[in-house]
């Protein structure tokens, strides 16, 4: 999925969202969201980010370089909109630009 990221609160944050506490485990290749049990890879593509997610069964990891406590608030499922807050002051707002569906072979 292609997403836009900003540290400035957009208008849609006025809507009540669903908030959970989670941890991100940062590996050399991406990050693992422990609450959602997904492996996430973020790649910059010009002024947007390409977010690739796949299921991850929690188990043994060979290397974790950083652990971050996150307050995750989801505002909308379609288009997907959410906020990742690392502390009371720092927040990043993500908004889906387009969903990329892999071609079936």
Q: Give domain status of residue 104, yes or no.
A: no
Q: Give domain status of residue 62, yes or no.
A: yes
CA distance linking residue 102 with residue 30, whole number of Å: 20
Q: Give domain status of residue 29, yes or no.
A: yes
Domain span holding position 38:
2-98
Q: Given this model, what pLDDT does residue 101 score?
A: 76
Taking a C-beta distance cutoff of 8 angstroms, is the pair 80, 1 a contact?
yes
- HSE-CB for 65 with a 13 A CA cutoff: 6
- Please write the tens of the pLDDT for every residue from 2-48: 999 999 999 999 999 999 999 999 998 899 999 999 999 999 988 99
Q: Give domain status of residue 26, yes or no.
A: yes
- CA-based nearest residue to 83, from 22, 36, 92: 92
Q: Give domain status of residue 9, yes or no.
A: yes
Q: How many domains does the chain have?
A: 1
CA distance linking residue 35 with residue 27, whole number of Å: 16
Q: Angle at CA 54, nearest 5°, toward 51 and 57?
A: 140
Q: Give domain status of residue 105, yes or no.
A: no
Q: Give domain status of residue 71, yes or no.
A: yes
């Amino acid at each position: 999925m292609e997403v836009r990221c900003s540290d400035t609160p957009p208008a849609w944050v006025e809507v009540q969202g669903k908030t959970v506490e989670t941890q991100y485990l940062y590996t050399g290749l991406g990050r693992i969201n422990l609450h959602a049990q997904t492996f996430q890879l973020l790649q910059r593509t010009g002024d947007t980010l390409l977010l690739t997610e796949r299921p991850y069964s929690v188990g043994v990891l060979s290397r974790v370089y950083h652990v971050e406590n996150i307050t995750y608030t989801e505002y909308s499922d379609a288009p997907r909109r959410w906020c990742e807050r690392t502390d009371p002051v720092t927040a990043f707002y993500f908004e889906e630009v387009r969903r990329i569906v892999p071609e079936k072979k």
